[in-house]
Amino acid sequence: MMTRNDCLARDADDALAPLRQLFALPEGVIYLDGNSLGAMPRAALPRAQQVIAQEWGTDLIRSWNSAGWFDMPKRLGDRLAPLLGAQAGEVVVGDTTSLNLFKALAAALHMQAAGEHAGRRVIVTERSNFPTDIYMAEGLATWLDRGYTVRLVDSVDELTSAINSETALVMLTHVNYRTGYQHDMAAMSAHAHAQGALIVWDLAHSAGAVPLDLHAAGADMAVGCTYKYLNGGPGAPAFIWVPARHQHRFHQPLWGWWSHATPFAMAPQYAPCEGIGRAQCGTQPVVSLAMVECGLEIFEKTSMHAIRAKSLALTDLFITLVEARCGGHPLALVTPREHARRGSQVSFTHPHGYAVMRALIARGVIGDYREPAIMRFGFTPLYTSFADVWDAVEILQHILDHQDYDVTAQRSAVT
């Protein structure tokens, strides 16, 4: 049986362990929620002070040029691109994941409408997808009022048959937010293409969590968050990827001036710029964008390969320890054991999942809760240690063995 000392020995051997110093984590907290809101890079506070006091306070409007504010969405996109398997000039940071999804879906439907499959009207996705993704697709389909429907599918097997000669578009989230299930992006993209469909991927729980190679996987478009595993800060702007091969026929409906070929010509006629800039809309939150860069800088000190190896070791360890030490309790693993099918989180159901998670948080082990009955634990190799995993399971076992949780706990607005 493994001991805490074994975990400490693994930490001593861990090449990523020093990166934890680059994050400001409070004492006494084991943070297992980086899948929902990444921890704060230490560089964020001085950078925010610089942006607010110097660039805004002193340099004022000149900073759009002198501090590179105007170019920041594309500069950050280029910095993010290597983590996605994208090229420079294919990613732009801005807006929200929901908004970028809307643009990508609309542009993809427009591409299909201009081609040999113009009559297709079905958008295929999963019922278990993050709700905003489903809502955005249904909102777009309803608003277009041209017979588009969103087909919600209940299993991966059914997904394969649901993607057929009627499918215009497939919209999938690569790693499921509840279960941590990871799709085979290359196989699913190839299948969609074989059926004449386009495929848009949501990388909210993948970017910075698992190695990605969008080009090799044959994806058509992708979107994702920067405030989760990329540690960009609360509400930080999202990203959108449009590969160079699609950019000339990428037409999204939010014709904001930042997507214009010559925004400062102030022309009354719209003309989209060439390249990824046409995926933009309007003015971006500069202070938040600057925080995204602090998160990305840390990824440049390591590789997604090293992050993935440690992520699998952490999630394997958590599963093993929970099953060994809490086996007498009604916990059920909903995350795949198979490495290739697992993201960087582990989810267990418990009949009193909400109350147990509240008890964990009260004792400094911060995960979160998602309906139905799912306790989520996110593992972020940049700042989570093997000893953290040990200590978290120790506390979980104590809470369960002593039923030290309040089943009448009221739900907060955010669970």
Ligand X SMILES: *Cc1c(COP(=O)(O)O)cnc(C)c1O
Query: Which residues contact ligand X (rule: CB under 6 A)?
Result: 96-98, 130, 132-133, 173, 177, 202, 204-205, 225, 238
Cβ atoms within 10 Å, residue 218: 17
Annotation marks residue 228 as catalytic? yes
**Phi, then psi, of 311 in degrees rounded to 5:** -60, -45
CB of 226 to ligand X, least distance (A): 9
Nearer to ligand X, 175 or 319 (CB): 175
Report in angstroms how near the CB of residue 131 gets to ligand X at its nearest.
8
CB of 403 to ligand X, least distance (A): 32
10, 121, 151, 376: the active-site residue: 376
Question: Of the listed 148, 181, 227, 229, which one is catalytic?
Answer: 227
- Catalytic, out of 23, 102, 130, 405: 130
Q: Residue 43 burial (CB < 10 Å; 0-12/13-18/19+)?
A: middle
Residue 374 gets the label, from left (phi > 0), alpha (psi -120 to 50) or beta, of: beta
Catalytic residue among 33, 202, 220, 368: 202
**Between 282 and 351, whose beta carbon lies closer to ligand X?**
282
Choose, from 20, 74, 120, 228, the residue flagged as catalytic: 228
Would you say 40 or 222 has its CB closer to ligand X? 222
Q: Answer yes or no: 135 catalytic.
A: no
* Residues 6 or more apart whose Cβ sits within 8 Å of residue 128: 154, 176, 178, 179
Select 87 or 132, whichever has its Cβ closest to ligand X. 132
- The residue among 302, 249, 238, 235 whose CA lies nearest residue 82 is 302
Handedness of CA 371, 372, 377, 380 (dihedral sign): negative
Please, what is the minimum distance in Å from the beta carbon of residue 324 to ligand X? Answer: 30
Of 130 and 405, which CB lies nearer to ligand X in the complex structure?
130
Least separation in angstroms between CB 174 and ligand X: 9
Q: Which of 77, 128, 75 is nearest to 100 (CA)?
A: 77
Residue 184 appears among annotated catalytic residues = no
Active site residue 227: yes
Q: Are 63 and 81 in contact (CB under 8 A)?
A: no
The answer to whether 255 and 280 are in contact (CB under 8 A) is no
Does the annotation mark 376 as catalytic? yes
Catalytic residues: 130, 202, 227-228, 376
